[in-house]
Chains A and B, each alone.
Chain A
Amino acid sequence: MEKINEPRYPSFKLIMQAKKKPVDEKTAADVGIETDRIGLANATTETVDFAAAPPRAAGTIVKDEGDGGTKAADFLAEKKFV
């Protein structure tokens, strides 16, 4: 995604100019949003709970001494993949 384009970074002068621009604040009702459909209380979904995922049990790590592939195949056989 980062290859799409080159961002145009504002110069210091532009940043200072931007600070002088008026900020027009509107409420949700001003822009025609039904207020009974927004906000946490009106969300249609909720998170019931969350927790850190249980850590994976430590696996078996072997050093290849010319038989690494065979040992891996043994593991697959044990798990019934082959």
Chain B
Amino acid sequence: MAEVLVLVDHVDGEVKKVTTELLTAARRIGEPSAVWVGDGAENGKAALAEFGAEKVYTAPAELNDYVVAPTAQLLAELAQDKGAAAILVSATAGNKEIAGRAAVKLGSGVLTDVVDVNSEVVTEHSIFGGATVTHGRVKTGVPVVAVRPNSFVPEAASGAGAEEAVSVDLPDAAKGAKVVERVVEEQGERPELTEAAVVVSGGRGVGEGKFDVVEQLADTLGAAVGASRAVVDSGWYPNQFQVGQTGKTVSPNLYIALGISGAIQHRAGMQTAKNIIAVNKDPEAPIFELADFGVVGDLHTVAPQLTEEINKRK
């Protein structure tokens, strides 16, 4: 069976959940081979093998000294050497650029924001804010697929996890943009918005300075906090938490919308969530068309009660 290269997302040796999703998806196509760029592979290797990685290619941390190009070079060369059936990456901004560059080097095509994939590498995409489903494929060469986080349920399957060190000779062109500094973003204890399994979002109905009602519910569920555009524009909550067309697209298992009416621009960012709960005063709010469970009422009484109930049942 042909190898399927999976670019590993990791933070200091800890494998991100999305990588286990990619490994699960890769097993449908062929034999997953994880590609680890940077240090810490010895710590993360076990987690990769647990989700079916037969091989773990490790590349020196030097590749991360430059922006995206070296990793793209590495993936393209590996794909050629190993006769890979496909390359899978998570659909982050940086990885999508890597995917594009790798595909150009391979003379193949890229499929981005993929939500499902079959054994023939025909991919499913959820477009127009989730209103339309399309299927796509790459016609020539090794398909490069950028998969949206939370699209697959990770399933464990033991793999050999055989480590193999690889390196790549970097042409000067790949060294065009150097990384001069890395700053870790302060984000506290909560999970990253786009990768979180549960997201609790607040909208205009929350009110200025009252976001702690959203945060408390989020923390009881171990969820990420999101916000609607109205909230971000009013300066009630920071920009990077905006969910919607001009913000982030999330696809969690559970999305709780508090005081969000559900404008089409917001729905575009969250309607692929598997379960949606909405709390809103207005029974006509469009968010209720999407909701699996809706409560018409004041979120300032419903949300604290929900928080309390969850704590009781834990």
A45 touches B303 (CB 8 A): no
- Asked if A59 contacts B293 (CB within 8 A), the reply is yes
Q: Which chain B residue lies CB-closest to A56?
A: B290
Residue in A closest to B253 when the chains form the complex, CB atoms:
A81
Residue contacts A-B, CB under 8 angstroms, 23 given: A44-B110, A44-B138, A47-B136, A48-B135, A50-B134, A52-B132, A53-B131, A59-B293, A61-B295, A61-B296, A64-B302, A67-B305, A68-B297, A69-B303, A71-B293, A73-B309, A75-B277, A76-B254, A76-B277, A77-B313, A79-B254, A81-B275, A82-B313
* Residue ranges of B at the interface with A (Cβ–Cβ < 8 Å): 103, 107-111, 122, 126, 130-141, 198, 221, 246, 253-254, 271, 275-277, 279, 283, 288-298, 301-310, 313-314
Query: Do residues B294 and A46 form an inter-chain contact, with CB atoms below 8 A?
Result: no
In the complex, whether A72 has a CB less than 8 A from a CB of chain B is yes
A1 to B229, CA, bound (A): 13
CB closest residue in chain A, given B246? A1
Residue of B nearest to A46 (CB): B139
Candidates B135, B246, B277, B288; contact of A72 at CB < 8 Å: B277
Please name all residues of chain A whose beta carbon is closer than 8 Å to the beta carbon of B108 when the two chains form the complex. Answer: 44
Question: Secondary structure at chain A's binding surface: helix, strand, loop or mixed?
Answer: mixed
Chain B nearest CB from A38 CB (Å) reads 14
Once A45-B109, A70-B309, A77-B313 are accepted as A-B contacts, the answer to whether A59 and B276 lie under 8 Å apart by CB is yes
Q: Which secondary structure characterizes the binding site on chain B? A: mixed
Which of A47, A63, A64 has the most chain B CB atoms inside 10 A of its CB?
Answer: A64
Q: Are B131 and A59 in contact (CB under 8 A)?
A: no
- Residue numbers in A under 8 Å from B103 (CB-CB): 44
Residue of A nearest to B233 (CB): A3
The tally of residues in A whose CB lies under 8 Å from a CB in B reads 34
Check B296–A63 contact: CB distance below 8 A. Answer: yes
Q: Which residues of A contact B271 (CB under 8 A)?
A: 56
How far is the CB of B300 from the nearest CB of chain A, in Å? 11
* Residue A29 CB within 8 A of the other chain: no
Contact B306 A72 (CB under 8 A): yes
Looking at the complex, which one of A44, A52, A53, A57 makes contact with B141 (CB distance below 8 Å)? A44
Please, which residues of chain B bring their CB within 8 A of the CB of A60?
A: 292-294
Contact A68 B110 (CB under 8 A): no
Q: Is the CB of B293 within 8 A of A75?
A: yes
User: A53 contacts B294, CB within 8 Å?
Assistant: no
CA distance A61 to B281 in the complex (A): 12
- Residue ID in chain B nearest A64 by CB atoms: B297
Cβ contact of B135, chosen from A1, A49, A56, A69, cutoff 8 A: A49
Contact (Cβ within 8 A) B246 A59: no
Determine the residue in chain B with the shortest Cβ distance to A51: B133
What is the CA–CA distance of A60 and B295 in the complex, to the nearest angstrom? 9
Identify which of A46, A61, A73 contacts B313 (C-beta below 8 A).
Answer: A73
Q: Which residues of the partner chain A approach B283 to less than 8 Å between Cβ atoms?
A: 61, 63
Task: Establish whether residues B291 and A46, one from each chain, have CB atoms under 8 Å apart when the complex forms.
Answer: no
- What is the bound-complex CA distance between A69 and B300, given in angstroms? 10
How far apart sit A55 and B249, CA to CA, in the bound complex (Å)?
19
Task: Report yes or no: A50 in contact with B133, Cβ–Cβ below 8 A.
Answer: yes
Query: Does A62 make an interface contact (CB < 8 A)?
Result: yes
Q: Is B301 a contact partner of A45 (Cβ separation < 8 A)?
A: no
